[in-house]
Amino acid sequence: MGDASPVITGTAEAGSTVEITLPNGMKLTTTADENGDYRVDIPPGSVKAGDVVTAKAIDEAGNESELADTTVIDITPPDAPVIDQVTDASAAITGTAEARSTVEVTLPDGTKLTTTADANEGYHFDIPPASLRAGEIVTAKATDAAGNGSELADTTVIDITPPDAPEINQVTDASTTITGTAEPDSTVEIKSPDGTKLTTTAASNGDYRVDISPGSAKEGDVVTAKATDEAGNESALTKTIVIGVMTPGKPEIDKESESSQPIQDEAEKNKQIGIPKTGSGMIENGIKYLLMGILAMLVLIMTIKKRRKMPLIDLVTDESTHITGKAKVDSHIVITLKDDIKLYPIQSKRNTYSAEVTPGLLQVGDVVQVTFIYKKEKIKLETKVMKGKDIKDNSQI
C-alpha cells in the first residue's frame, strides 16, 4: 500500500473477520466476502512511508491466523521546489525543496545542475557571475528517494543592472536642442540649466533629443542627464558644461574727419612699405630678408614636427580658462573632468581644439582625460592639472 492510499485491501478466508492494526495502534475491523476479498477505509494521513500495517483473520470458530504485515510505500511526489529571486547579476541559484531530495535546476542555455537539498531543505548552485540575462527562465524540480518527481517550478530572471550613463552631445549657448545617446528604449531625464526637467525616450538605436528654449543655455551652465531602463534601474548622472559660441555685437567706430587723417609724404610712404634706400641700406635690408626667410623655414619645420605628434593636450593649470591642444581635423573629441563632467571642444581647420572651462573648476592634481576618435582610430590621453604660478612655459604632452 502507498502512503497516499485511502483504503487498505487484501484477501483472507471467506467470511472471516479481518482485524487491521494501523501504525498508531488504531484497530479497524471488516469481514472478507465470499471471494475472500476485504476492504477497509482509513483516516487520511494516518499512514506514512515506512510505516508497518498488520492484519489477522479470525474464523467463525474464533481461530486466529498468523499476523501479516506490510510496509507503507512512498508514492507521494514532493512539493515543487521554491526558487529564490534570480537576477542578471546573480552568482548563485538558491531555494528550498523537500529535505534530502535531489534538486535539478535547468539554466536558460539548457545546462542542468544537480544537488541534494540539505536537512533544512535548502539547496545552492554557484553559476558564473552575470551569466544570466533579464527575462530568461530558470526551472527546478525535486525528486525524492522513492523516485517521485515534483512538478516543475520556474522563475524569471530580474533586471537589476543599471544602464550606462547617457552621453550628452556638445551644448552651446546657441543650442535649441539637447541630444545624445543612451540605452535603447530607456527613459532619459535631462535637467536643463534653468532647472527644468525634460523627459524623452531613447530610440531603438539609442539616440535621444529634447528641445530647449533659445537662449536658455548660458555659457558655463551645467546640463545633466540620466537614463532609467524598463525595470526602473537608474544610471549614473552625466554632466556637461555649456560652451560659449555666441559672438558679441559688432562695435561701432566713430568716423574721423578728413582733416584728422595724417598726411604722409612720399618718402614716409616708401619707408613704410619697405622700399630700400640705395647703398648700405640695400645691404641691411638684404640681410634682414635673408634672416626672415631662415626664421620662416624654421617655423615651418617646427610646425610639421608638431603636427606629426598629434593628438596633443596643452599644459593645463588650475588657472586655465581653456583646455587646448592639437588633433586631426574632423576628430570627435570628448574631454572628461572630475565628477564625470564632459566638455566638447571647438575645432579649427589648423588642427587645434579649445574648450572653455568654468573658472575654479580645475584643481591641482585633477586628472583631465581627452578621448580622440578619428575614423576607426581611438586614442585616450591624460594629464594632471598643475599649479599655475609654478609654471613658466607652455609645454605640451
Percentage with pLDDT > 70 across the chain? 85
Q: What is the pTM of this model?
A: 0.52
* Higher-pLDDT residue of 44, 203: 203
Q: Taking a C-beta distance cutoff of 8 angstroms, is the pair 336, 361 a contact?
A: no
What's residue 157's pLDDT? Answer: 96
Residue 262: band (very low, low, confident or very high) from pLDDT cuts 50, 70, 90: very low
Amino acid, single-letter form, for residue 209 = R
Instruction: Compute how many other C-beta atoms are within 10 angstroms of the C-beta atom of residue 327.
Output: 23
CATH 3.30.420.40 fits 82-156, yes or no: no
What are the strands of the beta sheet with 377-384, ordered from one edge? Answer: 197-201, 187-191, 222-228, 238-241, 341-343, 332-336, 367-374, 377-384
**Which residues in 247-374 belong to E strands, given as ranges?**
312-313, 322-326, 332-336, 341-343, 346-347, 352-356, 367-374
Among 299, 306, 305, CA closest to 396: 306
* Higher-pLDDT residue of 280, 289: 289
Which distant-in-sequence residues (6+ apart) come within 8 Å of 300 by Cβ?
none
CATH 3.10.580.20 fits 7-71, yes or no: no
Domain range list for the chain: 7-71, 82-156, 167-241, 312-390
Q: Taking a C-beta distance cutoff of 8 angstroms, is the pair 190, 197 a contact?
A: yes
What's residue 298's pLDDT? Answer: 75
Percentage with pLDDT > 90 across the chain? 59
- 7-71 against 82-156: fold identical: yes
Instruction: Compute how many other C-beta atoms are within 10 angstroms of the C-beta atom of residue 98.
Output: 21
CATH 2.60.40 fits 312-390, yes or no: yes
Least confident of 13-27, 133-147, 243-257, 343-357: 243-257
CA distance 229 to 182: 10
Read off the pLDDT of residues 70-99 as tens digits, 9 standing for 90 and up: 998 888 899 999 999 999 999 999 999 999
- The superfamily CATH assigns to domain 167-241 is Immunoglobulins (2.60.40.10)
Residue 351: band (very low, low, confident or very high) from pLDDT cuts 50, 70, 90: confident
Kindly list the distances between the CA atom of residue 32 and the CA atoms of 22, 35, 59, 63, in Å, as whole numbers in the listed order: 18, 7, 10, 15
Flag whether pLDDT at 277 surpasses 60.
Answer: no
